[in-house]
Amino acid sequence: MNTAVKLTAYGAALALVAGGAWAAGSAVGPFTVDAAPGGHDGTSGAEGTGHGDDHSGTVAGASDQPAGLASSRGGYTLAPTDTTLTTGNNTFSFRILGPGGTAVTAYDVEHDKRMHLIAVRRDTANFRHVHPEMATDGTWTVPLDVPEAGSYRVFADFKPTGGEATTLGVDVDAAGTFEPHAHAPSRVAEVDGYQVRLDGDLVPGTASALRLTVTKGGAAVTDLEPYLAAYGHLVALRRGDLAYLHVHPEGAPGDGRTPAGPTIPFVAEVPTAGTYRLFLDFRHAGVVRTAEFTVGTSDVPAGGHEDEEGHGHG
């Protein structure tokens, strides 16, 4: 992908509320989530009444919101069948309601799929990237493993036929005792014997070059396998409000110029300082794996380095 994908500015109040809530949760330690039926699926936005309408695409400033912060936007609404999950295996189902309140049934294929569904707990633990199947009535269904209790953000990433690419988000809850996970800054991930290293810096307002390099047992992995028409998929979530960014790599398998590893290059642009959680999906030996990173933004040119106190060095 030759054009940087941008996260645009978001409401300061939302960030303060989200950040304050997590700070309080970390201070008091474990607590219990009581899941209630129904609740916050935002479906009222389709009829133009109730709380869901506050997040519709017609609200002033909504066009400047990053992806995934609203359950209803641009005339489309993410409507889960149920917003209550259980820990363990679930069958999660939902519909995308169009401007008239009816289920959308026509979607374009984007990276081999008509629907990408991301689920992650609000402390950015337990990341899942799955692909639902749609019934003729527009209901999407997918198995969804939820290993721990808590509040989860579910993102539906899709392109309705004749419409714009859209990402909507909604919260769902799994009842039980919730212990927030802390994520220390990290640029090297270990997963199933693979090591993935992240190089490059996220510089707000700048097209930032990121390079993810995959090795196993100290040897470069040069035979990565195509996954969803690419050698890797990178999802970035801004800590605090979970603003969503899905970036595809430079080049494509079979284009005659893109190597199958060990390095997967990306270009991403973020507008705000802060901490981001990055999730790389890659496939090797027939298995898709996810490498996780926690990085802060930098004020040095992309490719530079920061010391432990955050001072830039060229």
Give tens-digit pLDDT for 245-276.
988 899 999 999 999 999 999 998 876 889 99
- pLDDT of 204 reads 85
For residue 54, pLDDT beyond 90:
no
What is the model's pLDDT at position 257? 95
Q: Please give the DSSP secondary-structure letter assigned to residue 113.
A: B
Query: Would you say residue 185 has pLDDT above 90?
Result: yes
Above 70 in pLDDT, residue 157? Answer: yes
Taking the C-alpha atoms of residue 180 and residue 32, their distance in angstroms, rounded to an integer, is 11
* pTM recorded for the entire structure: 0.77
Of 218, 222, 198, give the one whose Cα is nearest residue 298. 198
**What's the pLDDT at 37?**
40
> To the nearest whole number, what is the mean pLDDT of the chain?
81
Strands 84-85 and 166-174: what pairing? parallel
Residues spanned by CATH 2.60.40.1930 within the chain? 30-178
Give the dihedral sign, CA 61/64/66/68: positive
| CATH of span 188-303 | 2.60.40.1220
Residue 272, pLDDT score: 87
The CATH class, in words, for 30-178 is mainly beta
Lowest pLDDT segment from 101-105, 149-153, 273-277: 273-277
Q: What is the model's pLDDT at position 273? A: 87
* Residue ranges of the chain that CATH labels 2.60.40.1220: 188-303
pLDDT single digits (tens) 186-217: 999 999 999 999 999 999 888 899 999 999 99
Q: What is the pLDDT of residues 217-240, one digit of tens each?
A: 999 999 999 999 999 999 999 998
> Which whole number is the average pLDDT over 173-193?
95
